[in-house]
Amino acid sequence: MRKLYAVLVAAATAFSLAATLFAVKVRADDYPTRPITLVAVFGPGSASDVICRIIADPLSKALGQPVVVEPRPGADGAVAAAYVHHQPADGYTLLMATNSPLSADPFLHKVDYDAVKDFTPITRVGSFTLMLVVNPKLPIHSVKELIDYAKAHPGQLSFASGNTAGIVGGDTLAHWAGINIVHVPYTSTPPALEDIIAGRVSMMFADFTTAMPHVAAKTLRAIAVSRIKRSSLFPDLPTMDEAGLKGFNLDAWAGLVAPAGVPQSVIDKLNPVLRKIIDSPDVQQKFKNVGFEGFSSTPAELGDYIKEQLGAWQKMVKDANIQAD
């Protein structure tokens, strides 16, 4: 009798497990059946928020479900990443990941997620080019003038940061040039730029997306770009490397990820849809208009890139002598 009971229990357990797996597969095959949330790692008006909104509408039309953009700023993107990490692995909460939460934060802050193990890559979205901008009332028109001014006025200049690129860029500049500039952290780039315009902070490395309108209005002065090659959008701006800080190459990236464990069928549906959207002429033009270089990838390519960037940003943090908090 006991053996029969054990057999019946085992059969019932196996049936229950099979039914659960079948239900999960059906839900994944029907995906999506309800709204999708696209989480931005910084606040409203930030570059990550803007890129999310450019993608959200065509993604909603392609999938036949609303796509809601939800900014969750804090801890240089780590708050948003932790939030998405703890969401159900069903494909209904996606993270517009950047170099902040998945490349630099693990070496700058204490985070409760693993940048590789806790997320499922979907596709790369593109790259943000950064420009070094200063308050136009300062007598600074080049990187050399900035360094000379900082040396002549130690401790009087300050740099803002709205993300990890701003932190690493400012501290790398200070460390490599041997100058004393005070770091003023912000939760996002837009309020940081407002304080630079008002003269409360001297400078920052800011993404083109948020800085371009202010540079065009001459309320900010751009003096260099952070990448090793000049930008096609601002071809007259020298690179930091050309300005004398040899080897200075700071690039910021964006990619879409989901919580680890999302069914492969969901990723297989999202990737081709997103690639078509990201590479479409209409979206490419919208990216260009906000100073963003958009391009897509396979999930595997994004996964490999995240691993590579973890190593690159660990080295940059170490080389700039930045201490984790």
pLDDT digits (tens, 9 = 90+) for 256-265: 999 999 999 9
Name the pairing type of β-strands 36-40 and 203-207: unpaired
Q: Which residues of 182-208 are buried (b: 16+ CB within 10 A; e: fewer)?
A: ebbebbbbbebbebbbeeebbbbbbbb
pLDDT at position 114 over 70: yes
pLDDT digits (tens, 9 = 90+) for 300-322: 999 999 999 999 999 999 988 88
pLDDT over 90 percentage in the chain = 81
Phi, psi of 280 (to 5 degrees): -70, 145
- Domain ranges for the chain: 1-27, 31-126+254-319, 130-225
CA distance 193 to 185: 12
| CATH classification number, 130-225, choose in 3.30.70.141, 3.30.1490.20, 3.40.190.10, 1.20.120.530 | 3.40.190.10
Paired tokens of 109: 């802050």
Q: How far apart are the first and last CA of the chain?
A: 62
Q: Give, in words, the CATH class of 31-126+254-319.
A: alpha beta
| Model confidence band, residue 6 (pLDDT cutoffs 50, 70, 90) | very low
pLDDT at position 142 over 50: yes
Considering only CA atoms, which of 8, 300, 319, 25 is closest in space to residue 173?
319
Element housing 225 (H / E): strand 221-225
pLDDT digits (tens, 9 = 90+) for 59-93: 999 999 999 999 999 999 999 999 999 999 999 99
pLDDT score for 26: 44
Element housing 320 (H / E): none
| Model confidence band, residue 5 (pLDDT cutoffs 50, 70, 90) | very low
309, amino acid identity = Q
pLDDT score for 27: 54
| Model confidence band, residue 21 (pLDDT cutoffs 50, 70, 90) | very low
pLDDT score for 126: 95
pLDDT score for 218: 97
